[in-house]
């Protein structure tokens, strides 16, 4: 793979940083990939070679490329980190993803613009990211360099990430409006970002299990003139870790000496995060967990993620207090259309069982147990 023609150009609505990806060992067409932001934050966006190297690595490994040659200067610290990323991918893929050679235009001899003492984070609108934002607010004084000052909301992630489902900009704008209610309450900036890096490989398993953390880190690197610390909220707690596109053994290796990437709050279980969000009204009324991206609602109330979140809120007696869901209760019938024992979802449900028992919700306890162990004797 070659990553070439890195450049920035002004668009009618903002600025776009682009690069051209040329495949060398697989029969795929060359593709322009980009990271774009509106005018308000355009001055902070760069065509950083680190961003495109990090964003392209996992698809290159997936398709068996033997090298990545990238134009521009690359930090030796990032080179070291990506060696560890490739070693982890080889293990997780049982040898299918063989390490490749990274060939930078030049090895950087020093760091870039110096310390900005500014932190940002991904904000998806989900429970993980809201809990991380809230925890940061509670732990860090406003002027501390670790205090979040910028929340990045990315189109091309779950919204607009799958080509066949369309770009759904209207869904993004609706979610952005809900997000801004939260960031305004937190006193931080909202930075919308648009990228097509995910479209290098439109494979859902690769995205969820290997890839998405790299795209988050790529966005962070593209804003390295603005910040030098970027948080990614944990997907699983330490006790229940599994291979995942964002992981405490993965995300930090996407760091350079100019941009530190941190995997945050893996000590918290999902139920702890739900309680934290439920105790903060702006987040509790404006979260978005749904990936269905329906036209008329922030959360569809029917998909697995919606029902799982609703069940967790019911378990702590809070579901009826949020307007993020139309529904005020959960019934066993809501579980009929999906499985809960795939993609390492089981820990999220197991931790709810004792809480549901305490609330006398034996109907939900029975349903969850039967879905977790569908072949167990009755």
Check whether residue 130 and residue 244 sit in a common domain. yes
The pLDDT of residue 202: 86
CA distances from 195 to 160, 224, 320, 376 (A): 9, 16, 36, 45
| Number of domains comprising the chain | 3
- Beta partners for residue 101, in sequence order: 67
Q: Which residues are bridge partners to 148 per DSSP?
A: 119
pTM, rounded to two decimals: 0.96
- In our burial notation (b when 16+ CB lie closer than 10 A, e otherwise), range 3-27 reads beebebeeeeebbbbbbbbebeeee
Spatial neighbors of 125 by CB under 8 A, at least 6 apart, are 153, 175, 178, 179, 182, 286, 287, 288, 289
Q: What are phi and psi of 136, to 5 degrees?
A: -65, -45
pLDDT of residue 112: 56
Domain end point (choices 75, 107, 139): 107
Domain match, 206 and 139 both? yes
Tens digit of pLDDT at every position of the chain (378 positions): 999 999 999 998 999 999 999 999 999 999 999 999 999 999 999 999 999 999 999 999 999 999 999 999 999 999 999 999 999 999 999 999 999 999 999 999 875 557 899 999 999 999 999 999 999 999 999 999 999 999 999 999 989 988 888 898 988 999 999 999 999 999 999 999 999 999 999 899 999 999 999 999 999 999 999 999 999 999 999 999 999 999 999 999 999 999 999 999 999 999 999 999 999 999 999 999 998 888 789 999 999 999 999 999 999 999 999 999 999 999 999 999 999 998 899 999 999 999 999 999 999 999 999 999 987 664
271 within some domain? no
131 and 182 housed in the same domain: yes
Residues in Cβ contact with 296 at an 8 Å cutoff, skipping those fewer than 6 apart: none
377 in any annotated domain: no
Q: How confident is the model at residue 133, as a pLDDT?
A: 98
Q: What is the pLDDT of residue 223?
A: 98
368/315 same-domain check: yes
- Same domain as 54, residue 89: yes
Are residues 191 and 55 part of one domain? Answer: no
- Could you tell me if 123 and 236 lie in one domain? yes
**Could you tell me if residue 342 is inside a domain?**
yes
270 inside domain = no
Residue 94 lies in a domain: yes
230 and 162, same domain (yes or no): yes
3-state secondary structure of 73: strand
Domain endpoint, select from 46, 76, 107? 107
The answer to whether residue 154 is domain-embedded is yes
Q: What is the pLDDT of residue 113?
A: 57
Which is nearest to 348 in space by CA: 301, 315, 300, 299? Answer: 315
Q: 129 and 244: one domain?
A: yes
Range of the domain at 73: 2-107
CATH number of the CATH domain containing 255: 3.40.50
Among the candidates 54, 72, 107, a domain finishes at 107
Centroid of chain to Cα 32? 22
Instruction: Establish if 251 belongs to a structural domain.
Output: yes
For residues 213 and 235, membership in a common domain is answered with yes
Are 178 and 251 members of one domain? Answer: yes
Domain annotation covers residue 95:
yes
> Is there a single domain that holds both residue 12 and residue 101?
yes
């Amino acid at each position: 793979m070659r990553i070439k023609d890195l450049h920035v150009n002004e668009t009618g609505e903002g600025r776009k940083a682009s690069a051209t990806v040329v495949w060398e060992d697989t029969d795929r067409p060359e593709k322009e990939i980009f990271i774009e932001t509106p005018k308000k934050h355009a001055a902070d966006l760069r065509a950083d070679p680190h961003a495109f190297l990090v964003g392209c690595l996992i698809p290159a490994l997936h398709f068996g490329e033997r090298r990545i040659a990238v134009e521009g200067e690359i930090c030796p610290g990032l080179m070291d980190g990506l060696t560890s990323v490739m070693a982890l991918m080889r293990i997780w893929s049982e040898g299918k993803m063989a390490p490749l050679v990274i060939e930078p235009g030049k090895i950087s001899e020093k760091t870039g613009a110096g310390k900005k003492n500014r932190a940002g984070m991904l904000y998806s609108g989900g429970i993980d990211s809201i809990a991380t934002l809230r925890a940061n607010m509670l732990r860090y004084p406003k002027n501390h360099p670790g205090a979040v000052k910028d929340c990045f909301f990315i189109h091309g992630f779950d919204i607009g990430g799958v080509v066949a489902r369309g770009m759904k900009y209207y869904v993004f704008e609706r979610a952005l409006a809900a997000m801004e209610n939260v960031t305004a309450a937190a006193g931080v900036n909202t930075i919308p970002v648009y990228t097509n890096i995910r479209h290098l490989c439109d494979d859902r398993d690769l995205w969820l299990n290997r890839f998405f953390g790299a795209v988050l880190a790529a966005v962070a690197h593209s804003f390295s003139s603005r910040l030098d610390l970027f948080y990614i909220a944990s997907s699983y707690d330490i006790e229940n870790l599994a291979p995942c596109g964002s992981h405490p053994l993965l995300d930090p290796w996407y760091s350079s000496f100019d941009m530190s990437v941190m995997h945050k709050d893996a000590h918290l279980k999902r139920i702890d995060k739900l309680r934290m969000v439920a105790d903060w009204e702006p987040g509790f009324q404006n979260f978005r967990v749904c990936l269905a991206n329906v036209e008329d609602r922030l959360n569809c109330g029917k998909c697995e993620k919606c029902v799982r979140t609703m069940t967790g809120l019911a378990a702590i007696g809070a579901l009826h207090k949020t307007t993020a869901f139309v529904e005020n209760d959960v019934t066993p019938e809501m579980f009929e259309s999906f499985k809960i024992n795939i993609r390492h979802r089981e820990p999220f449900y197991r931790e709810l069982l004792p809480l549901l028992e305490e609330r006398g919700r034996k109907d939900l306890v029975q349903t969850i147990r039967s879905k977790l162990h569908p072949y167990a004797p009755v």
